[in-house]
Amino acid sequence: MRIYFSGAIAGGRDDLAVYQHIVKRLQTTGIEVPSAHVADPAVLMHESEVSPREVYERDIRWVKESDAMIAEVSTPSLGVGYEVGHALRIGKPVLCLYRRGLFVSKMITGNPALTVAAYADSSELDAHLDAFVGSLVTCPHG
Amino acid sequence: MRIYFSGAIAGGRDDLAVYQHIVKRLQTTGIEVPSAHVADPAVLMHESEVSPREVYERDIRWVKESDAMIAEVSTPSLGVGYEVGHALRIGKPVLCLYRRGLFVSKMITGNPALTVAAYADSSELDAHLDAFVGSLVTCPHG
């Protein structure tokens, strides 16, 4: 299974440790994460070497080639918002995760096409991840 | 003509003065801006009285009913990113504006379907707004 992970890059890197936790948990269960570089502390340096058009086309292709998307939306991000909308557009199941208590855009929390879940700690985060991945296995997309 | 304006709400209100400038300039040339409340300093208070689902459905309807979208993307925002993607999906022309020198997501700057423009001051901002509105008048959408 392949899951695209979406997290803030230009928007801010305050949640890097959460991104790393999510990507590692997915990968250790055998899931391929094409966008694992989002959880790399050096992503800004690496991405600066790639043109905007190349990044755009690569990410759009990775979303298309994935079975689903998991987005961590605690840090406001233009790119994450765009990617969530794009994934829905092409029919991918999307899970949006955020730290309980944060004020998240109502375009996300009020969106009936999304699975949106809040977490207070890593065990709650893991439970949401496992439930979402489990739902994909039970009812494979496409 | 009707243009949907998109700016950060949950993402942060640091660019409120720019949002007000854009909305005022559009309105003074007779353009209807259904989402003018984004430029209202009290928007967070007003929007707190509306359920997430109602906000989502209202904004999606407003985008649909508009001829185009103008998004100010200097402040990273999940909702703005989502709305930009949604507007493109339903075939609306979209202008994304940001203060020159900021690092903006490559999902925006590398997106060939968008008009993206940087500004250093209000006269440059106005020139971008006028050119975009002029392009809609010359080649009306739909």
**Tens of pLDDT, residues A39-60:** 999 998 888 889 999 999 999 9
Backbone phi, psi, residue A27, to 5°:
-65, -35
**Which residue matches tokens 């001829």?**
B67
Q: From B107, which residue of chain A is nearest by alpha-carbon distance?
A: A56
Alpha carbons A92 and A37: distance in angstroms, whole number: 21
- pLDDT of A134: 96
Burial zone of B73 (CB within 10 Å; 0-12 exposed, 13-18 middle, 19+ buried): buried
Taking an 8 Å cut-off on Cβ atoms, the answer to whether A82 and B47 are in contact is no
At A15, the pLDDT band (50, 70, 90 cuts) reads very high
**Which residue matches tokens 């020139």?**
B127
Q: Around A36, how many Cα atoms within 13 Å sit in the side-chain half-sphere?
A: 12
ipTM surpassing 0.90, yes or no? yes
Q: What is the DSSP string of B3-33?
A: EEEE--STT--TTHHHHHHHHHHHHHTT-B-
pLDDT tens for chain B, 142 residues long, are 999 999 999 999 999 999 999 999 999 999 999 999 999 999 988 888 899 999 999 999 999 999 999 999 999 999 999 999 999 999 999 999 999 999 999 999 999 999 999 999 999 999 999 999 999 987 655 4
- pLDDT of B140: 54
Contacts with A108 from chain B: Cβ below 8 Å: 78-79, 82
Taking an 8 Å cut-off on Cβ atoms, the answer to whether B9 and A105 are in contact is yes
